[in-house]
Structure 1
């Protein structure tokens, strides 16, 4: 990468009890002996120009706690899923989960805004009518072949097996389940410690498939064996596993604690190319030509992390070795977090007086009318979802100490640290100033340009003139102080 790419980011200016279970998998299965609750513990484009040297910062003792490098590998818990369901779907199950509660949660998960059910016949229920709390959810699930019952008993307690029977269909495993011969059913049930004669027919097939696919993870096997009324933790795990099976949970390459996280990073970077998006690029290149912005990023929404905003930070850079060392730095500081890699192409004006640019597979230029060039450079964003807001807040001090350049001779820092590192939060964060982002979206691709808040409206108006049919949006967000200083023309 060249030293000029900072401009590309900114807009301006620079078991079971006694009896047998049903042989058909009905959501309205007979209520069984209640089970105790399962207890689980919740556990932009920027290579920066050189600046005037300043004093090297001292390390903060708070960054090196006695057990800073102690990380326990994270496993998603009921609390994790509950937090996600509340943040993304406004779902919060009550302590005593009723059938209607579970149906409404499943319907919110599986319902696709683009799916058309106009041709589907509206089902009728013996105990639900339009306007009842669970009616719309029951209709949605029935029309998609997930719920076959006509009697819902929405206000009754929900049994573990009834929940599994409907969840395995909602998770997309119904057809797979019905391919199971008896031998595979017996093997799967045995794996969970359930006698082969305890469940029969399609119900047994669906339960077996739920076990084999991981929809019912090993931690829930004791709950299956005991059976009875479902508890909130078990329900949240089933909902979380359903989200995962549908590809609607977190979109990530791994966690900082994963033993193979570095290989995952390198693999993601190697397979990322410059983003073309020619129709969109034509529009935003015109914004460059007209000096509406000095640079922009191209990104692909299919790499969106779907992380929880209040726990998320986005960090931008262009060097993959820096990313690997950053992950190692976080691990050494005892921070475990989800990690998503997002390819990014940065575009900016390359002035002719800088000399003839040298192209590479990751760096292309197009000369424009005045002799200058538009340069396109391969970069990336990494999104982190931290385990808690305390770790998210600590990130700033860690970067300031180990990954923020303050002089040409400053050491020790991680590889290729920048004068103005870029990281930002979609939610308010103490010590982070507010700036604006303007986005223009066509299909899966979007271009974005960062600016000070007082510049944002003019940029959005300019984009609307250039592309009246495109989707133009904008929002404020919280950015690290050095990058904010850069937007204000300061050196740090």
Structure 2
């Protein structure tokens, strides 16, 4: 831990997480053959469930997307070519066909009508099509290949998973830094007042606020969320994954963590883009700190499972190593990482409460509590405002943080 004021900030950040912790790059980012995360994404974020990913359902979904952009699909000589035509229109890139040259068309392996040839060239340039012969043959492509096309169209159309890239991309560190540099403290509009009341009246020791604008859409079965405040730590963690052969999509979500500031800790510091203290009343000061949730979507559940051992070995302080010697920069006593789907050894089930108010304006409070404390939390917040919407769902956190929630120091 840091010394002095920094040490106190870290302790308080951990304290506020008892009741308030956030819950939980390109269309070809997934490695070839990694179908699981793409299928899980479509099942989680579209109306297409895994068992319904057929050619007809994919075509219907692409047609709806195209229509939303004011484009109508055209029936082509084969269903494959119809899918490609719809894909370009659904992705909002149909105009690119006018940039295709005769030389590019001639390099295609099959003979197609000019509109279809242009569509295929653009689809190849976008990385949507691997084996062009599969798409130009009279035999329909597999449902898996069609669903992958849909996934890539969604990625282009609205950002899809909204990843910064993959952990093994040499440029990922710059993208992480750029994302972090763009973040600023936010108080959540009307939720700030609610949070102040919650602290003042003892309903919470602190709270985290996140914004809908920054939501990442990773496939939950393959994803872990890792919370921290030091961006240098995040970059070292990504390098650790690479060194150990684990690959994941990477994204950052900002969060504001607020908690009661006690004057006995020392003079109120000057505000910065990372931290500020507000005087609410004579006996109540509120500290707000900019932090992040690092989202990691692994290629497989096996790689997701391997993450816990890495953190326990290289990013967790302990009584045996209280100074963090040999650990990643900014290692915590109770590192926090969570999964929205059940995990085995090394994880414990807890409860996540997502609190929204009519005055929230796209912001929400996230509260993370032990299962036996969920009813007390809900009752305390509804006493502050009966109109609050509180969504409750299970979450699986690492054992170190679960022990902390029970009052154990490590």
Task: Output the CA distance in 2 between the equivalents of 1:414 and 1:142.
Answer: 47
1:188-199 maps to which residues of 2 (within 5 A)?
Answer: 188-190=104-106, 192-193=108-109, 198-199=112-113
Match of 1:291 in 2: 202
- Check the 8 A contact 1:93/1:101 in 2, yes or no: no
Please give the TM-score of this superposition, normalised by the length of structure 1.
Answer: 0.71
1-structure distance, mates of 2:194, 2:50:
43
Corresponding residue number in structure 2 for 1:110 = 65
1:481 is matched with 399
Could you tell me which residue of structure 1 aligns to residue 102 of structure 2? 186
Per the TM alignment, residue 82 of structure 1 is displaced from its structure 2 partner at its CA by 3.4
**Offset of residue 382 of structure 1:** 0.2
Structure whose residues are more often strand by fraction: 2
Output aligned runs, 1:192-211, within 5 Å: 192-193=108-109, 198-200=112-114, 202-203=115-116, 206-211=119-124
- Asked whether the 8 Å contact 2:73–2:85 carries over to 1, the reply is no
Is the alpha carbon distance of 1:263 and 1:248 closer, same or farther for their aligned partners in structure 2, counting shifts above 3 Å? closer
8 Å CA contact 2:104, 2:121 repeated in 1: yes
Q: Is 2:41 the counterpart of 1:84? A: yes
Kindly tell me: are residues 261 and 490 of structure 1, through their superposed partners in 2, closer, same or farther at Cα, counting changes over 3 Å? Answer: same
SS in 1 for 2:113: coil
CA contact (8 A) 2:40 2:221 kept: no
User: Which of 164, 169, 192 in structure 1 is aligned with 2:89?
Assistant: 169
1:466/1:165 CA distance change after superposition, 3 Å: same
Q: How do 1:36-55 residues align onto structure 2 when only pairs under 5 Å count?
A: 44=21
Q: 1:76 to 1:356 in 2, by over 3 A?
A: farther
Asked if 1:386 is matched to 2:298, the reply is yes
TM-score with structure 2 setting the length: 0.84
Give, in whole Å, the separation in 2 of the partners of 1:476 and 1:371.
Answer: 36
Change (3 A) 1:450 1:359: farther
More helix by share: 2
1:332 matched residue in structure 2: 243
Q: Aligned-pair distance for 1:87?
A: 4.3
Larger radius of gyration: 1
Offset, 1:316: 0.6
When residues 283 and 102 of structure 1 are mapped into structure 2, their CA distance, relative to the original with a 3 A threshold, is: same
SS in 2 for 1:417: coil
* Contact 1:192–1:225 (8 Å) recurs in 2: no
Say whether 1:10 aligns with 2:18: yes
Give how far 1:103 is off.
2.7
| CA separation of 1:434 and 1:94: change in aligned 2, threshold 3 A | closer
Deviations 1:267-311 (A, max 9, x none): 111111112322221112211111100011111222222111111
Partner in structure 1 of residue 309 of structure 2: 397
**Aligned 1:272-287 pairs, distance under 5 A:** 272-287=183-198
Distance 1:385 1:78, change over 3 A: closer
Aligned residue number for residue 266 of structure 2: 355
2:19·2:204 contact (CA, 8 Å) conserved in 1? yes
Count of aligned residue pairs for this structure pair: 387
Structure 2 unpaired stretches of 5+: 1-5, 23-28
> 2 CA distance for matches of 1:436 and 1:232?
37
Distance in 2 between residues matched to 1:458 and 1:203, nearest whole Å: 61
Q: Is the 8 A contact 1:10 1:296 kept in 2?
A: no
In the superposition, relative to structure 1, how do residues 450 and 143 fare at CA in structure 2: closer, same or farther (>3 Å)? closer
Distance in 2 between residues matched to 1:251 and 1:159, nearest whole Å: 29
Q: Match for 1:423 among 333, 337, 348?
A: 337
Give the Cα–Cα distance (whole angstroms) in 1 for the partners of residues 142 and 386 of structure 2: 52
In structure 1, distance between residues paired with 2:397 and 2:195? 23
| Residue 363 of structure 2 is aligned to residue 445 of structure 1 | yes
Mapped to 1, the partners of 2:291 and 2:68 lie a distance apart of 46
For residues 250 and 77 of structure 1, the distance between their equivalents in structure 2, rounded to whole angstroms, comes to: 18
Match of 1:239, SS? helix
SS of structure 2 residue aligned to 1:368: strand
Q: Tell me, what secondary structure is at the counterpart of 2:341? A: coil
For 1:300 and 1:438, the matched residues in 2 are separated by 15
CA distance in 2, matches of 1:167, 1:313: 31
- Offset at 1:405? 0.1
Instruction: Give me the CA root mean square deviation.
Output: 3.0
1:263 counterpart (152, 160, 174): 174
Does residue 1:434 correspond to 2:354, yes or no?
Answer: no
